[in-house]
Structure formats: structure tokens, C-alpha cells
Amino acid sequence: MKDGNVIDGIIGRSPGLLRAIDLAKRVADSSANVFITGETGTGKEVIAKAIHNFGGRKKHPFIAINCSAIPENLLESELFGHAKGSFTGASDKKVGLFEEAGEGTLFLDEIGDLSLPLQAKLLRVLQERRIKRIGENQYRAVNARIISATHKDLRAEVKEKTFREDLFFRLNVIPINLPPLRQRKEDILPLAEFFLKKFSALNGKKIDGFHKSALEHMLRTPWSGNVRELENAIERAVVLCDNTWLVASDLVLDTYDLEPISEETMALANAPVSNYSSAESVEALTAAAAAPPAAVRQEFYGLIPAADEPLVTLEELTNRYLN
């Protein structure tokens, strides 16, 4: 699927995201290791899944593991498997994720949190393309494509001797960087619309859209937690909202400085809304922009007025806050 804001199932149209998607497509059919960097919540796993789905491995498993979420003494078993009785609690044999992924993709998220001993074992697997389960002497060939990701600066970790340089270069064959959401302002409103529809449906709520105060709030918010924070904010707003329109106060949990919106922050004009409002949104929005304010359809991205405020067109909102 492809339209102005949804490209192969990935929502957004910012230059940084489009570069990442383009690179994902170009490397999808190769077997080269891909290394995705970006702050927490930027969508690194989304890009990893896209690489998997773009290529010939899409009929095989996509297996993801967060290396920081599993204790070190269990992580080796998760990755490589173990034989029955190989340690206390190993009541049965276990197939590791390298084997489980088969001909598919193994996504190693937060690879920067691996301990040095596990880094050494992972390096050997990447070099030899075979693993040995804990408690076994038998080697097993593996052919999964490896995609790794981290929010850390691994070059700095290498200098500090907390991450192996040889493993870093082995992983960093195809680097893909995902900019933070604060640098991808064009993606905020398309993502917000998607999350609004998603959580309205999940919670059985009828919410018609965002008031312009909510739009302005989302565009000025720094979103230090990136897409994940935006998603959580909208889910919370939908669950707690008693009205049919979300306003700025519905989205506020922490207090942000409501400073004026800069030109750079607001550089998204009419195009984003026209692409994700509805199937015939381009024609409809064009007609609405030319109509008198009182005739503007309220469902155009929630531009509903306050009780004592006249309706505004998207063009008026753009001129007021983007220019």
C-alpha cells in the first residue's frame, strides 16, 4: 500500500523516514547484516520488519528479542538453546532463537546491552554461521538473516571497551539511522490519526477527531519518547475522553512549555491531512479550503471550533501557524 503518508504499511513522509524505507527496500533481498540506530521509541523494529517483509524471507519467521530485557544467564539459552539437564531447571531441551528463525530473520534489539562474554559468542556465530546449544558438543548450521538495533552510540562504547570493535564492524554492514520524532514533524499528524482510529476502535469510543488545539499541542511537544510516547498519549486520551473531540488538555500528562510554534516545527502545510483523512480527501479538502468557514466539514482532521470560536479552514490554520 502506498499513499502520501502510508508507504508499504509504514506511516510517515518525513525525509529521514523515507531514506530509511528506501534503504530497507534496497537491502531486503541481500543476506548482509543490517544495523539500525535511533532513540528509544523511533520505530526500529518497524523498519526491521519492513526489511524482512520486502525480501524473499517474508515467508519465513521474523523473530525478535530484546537483549536488555532478559537476564544474562538466560539470554544465552534463549539465543542458542540448551540440552536437557545442561543446567539446573533445564528439564527439557530448548531450541534457540537462531534455529527457530530458520531461513527467516532474527532481530536483536538493544544489542548494545549484551555482556562482553555473550558478544564473543555472538561474534563466533556470525563468523561461522553455526551454533552449539548449551550442554551439547554438536554444532548446528544457522542461516537466519541478522538485523540488530540499539539506542546507544556503539562507536563510543567501542572506545570505552564495553563493546567489541570486531563485533561492531560485523554487525554494522548496512547502517540505517532513524531520526527522533522531533526531527520528523511531518510524521506526527499521520501517526496521531492512525493511533486515534486504532484506539477508538479498540475501546469502543466514537471520537471524531482532534481539535486544532490538540494539533498545535502535538506539533510543539518534543516527544522525547518518540512514536511510543505519542502512541501512549493518544491511547490515554482516548480512554479518558468524555467528548467526541480530543483537545490539547486530553493529551497532557507531563507539563510541557507551551512556547510559540516555530516555522520548522510547523512545516507540514496541507499535504499531510489531505492524504490520510479519507479516500477522497484530496478533492474534498480542496473544496473545503475554498468554502466559507461555516461550510467547512468538521471531520477534516478534527478542526472543530470551541463554543465561542468560528470554524477555521485548514488553509487558515496553515497560514496562522505554519507561515
Neighbour count for residue 320 (Cβ, 10 Å): 13
- Cβ contacts of residue 49 below 8 Å, gap of 6+? 62, 107
Residue-level pLDDT at 7 = 64
E strand segments, 142-246:
145-150, 174-177, 209-210, 245-246
Residue-level pLDDT at 73 = 80
Class of residue 143 by CB neighbours under 10 A (exposed 0-12, middle 13-18, buried 19+): middle
Architecture of domain 184-321 in this structure: Orthogonal Bundle (1.10)
Residue-level pLDDT at 215 = 93
Residue-level pLDDT at 254 = 54
Residue-level pLDDT at 302 = 39
How is the chain split into domains, by residue range? 6-179, 184-321
CATH class, domain 6-179, is alpha beta
Chunked into runs of 10 residues, the chain (323 residues) has average pLDDT values of 60 92 94 96 94 94 94 89 75 88 96 95 95 89 96 96 97 96 94 95 93 93 95 95 91 56 44 38 38 36 42 49 48
